[in-house]
Chain A
Amino acid sequence: MSHAGSSGGIASPGPVRSGGIDTGEESSLMGDLLFNFTEWLRNTPLNDVALAISESAPTLWIGEHFYAIPIFQVIHILAISASFAAVLMINARMLKLAGHSSLEDTTARYVRVLWWALLVLVLSGAAMIIGEPIRELINAVFWVKMILFVTAVLFTIWFHKGIAKRFTGSSEASGGAKLAGIVLVVLWCMIMTGGRWIAYNPG
């Protein structure tokens, strides 16, 4: 499943082979932006925070236990699986791709799954930050992912407390509700993309 991810490691783009080939792809606007953002992070007080965490007892303990980070990552992936499946199934119902229960029941069922999964996601994510504070906190992609995550949570609250309230007694979701659902799916795909690309952050 994965290529990169060792402790503090930033993945190499590919195996070095005889006659190593320069593809000329290294320099890109996005790459430069992320590199500069990471460099900027390095010069903020966040760097001291990350260094302080890296010397704390929990971080040292995790560093001494090879399987700790992979186990946190597995828990994190399982929590994302639950969140994403919940968002997908709400969408499937709204878009009439699944139709075995009412809009209200479907939303109530999966929003509950979503909130519990988000809790596990945050806890396992926090454990990964404590495990590898510099790799995560001094990383532009990580902060892009965090912004996307907070956006997704706020969007979910709005969906749950606002849009879904109007599902009572109605058999069809409004255009706005469907759009909000699709935006949530896209946001989650972007969050997962960010999660994977933390390992490939330039800088």
Chain B
Amino acid sequence: MSFYPEPTNIWESIEYSSLGTTIAESTWMFPTIETIHVIALVTVIGTIALVDLRLVGVKGHALRVSQLAKDTLPWTWGAFALAAITGLLLFVSKASSYMINPWFLAKLAMLALAGLNMMYFHMTTWRAVDHWELDPSFPTAAKIAGWLSLIFWLVVVFCGRMIGFTLGIFF
């Protein structure tokens, strides 16, 4: 027997699905998934920032930026996959509340911008990394990509934190 009203849109259909209601009704599932989401996101941001800071000119070690990226990327992608899965599960449990929350929508937009910035950088400047990584100063395009990445991820964290303060107050 269902305790939930008939869904009136796709987001309510997702929220009232058995997966959505199972997570929402449990006292421990949401916080547990959220904890894994935080650990995954922290890993994504920490490992990306190591490369970004290098791109914008923070020195202090002899490791080439391409080697640094090779060391960090498997962690970044693995953690990103985990963050995406857990983020989806959190979303399913309260889909209609998230979809009207401006901070959630802004977080998605920032994630898209961070992804586009990374894709563009990898398809352009990064292709010639062998030619510039030993130079005393990196190309302006690499510095800009590093700064943009740092800013986008910072805003992703801020928006994510703001969701916690505002979820359920928008109708």
Contacts and interface: CB of A to CB of B under 8 A. Distances in A.
Interface of A: 1-6, 11, 13-15, 17-19, 21, 23, 25-26, 66, 69-71, 73-74, 77-78, 80-86, 88-89, 92-93, 97-101, 105, 109, 112-113, 189, 192-193, 195-197, 199-200
Contacts of A200: 31
Interface in B149-171: 154, 157-165, 167-168
Contact of B164 (A4, A97, A99): A4
B3 A18 contact: yes
Contacts of A23: 25-27
Contact of A26 (B27, B70, B107): B27
13 contacts: A1-B34, A2-B34, A3-B30, A3-B164, A15-B24, A15-B168, A18-B3, A70-B162, A81-B42, A83-B46, A85-B75, A86-B46, A101-B63
A85 B63 contact: no
Contacts of B5: 18
Contacts of A113: 50
A88 B28 CA distance: 27
B61 A3 contact: no
A17 B47 CA distance: 40
Q: Is the interface of A mostly helix, strand, loop or mixed?
A: helix
Interface residues of B, number: 54
B39 A189 contact: yes
B49 A82 contact: yes
B62 A3 contact: no
A1 B26 contact: no
Contacts of A6: 164-165
Given A18-B5, A84-B46, A100-B63, A13 B165 contact: no
A13 B30 contact: yes
Contacts of B140: none
A88 B168 CA distance: 36
B34 A78 contact: no
Contacts of B90: 3
A70 B62 contact: no
B157 A1 contact: yes
B50 to A, nearest CB: 6
B70 A100 contact: yes
Given A1-B41, A1-B160, A192-B42, A15 B49 contact: no
A13 B27 contact: yes
Nearest to B63: A101
A25 B16 CA distance: 20
Given A2-B163, A17-B4, A78-B49, 12 more contacts: A1-B41, A13-B26, A66-B165, A69-B165, A70-B162, A81-B49, A85-B72, A89-B71, A92-B75, A101-B61, A192-B38, A193-B39
Contacts of B64: 100
| The 4 nearest A-B residue pairs measured at CB | A85-B46, A1-B160, A2-B164, A19-B3
Given A25-B28, A88-B75, A78 B35 contact: no
Contacts of A189: 39
B47 A85 contact: yes
B39 A192 contact: yes
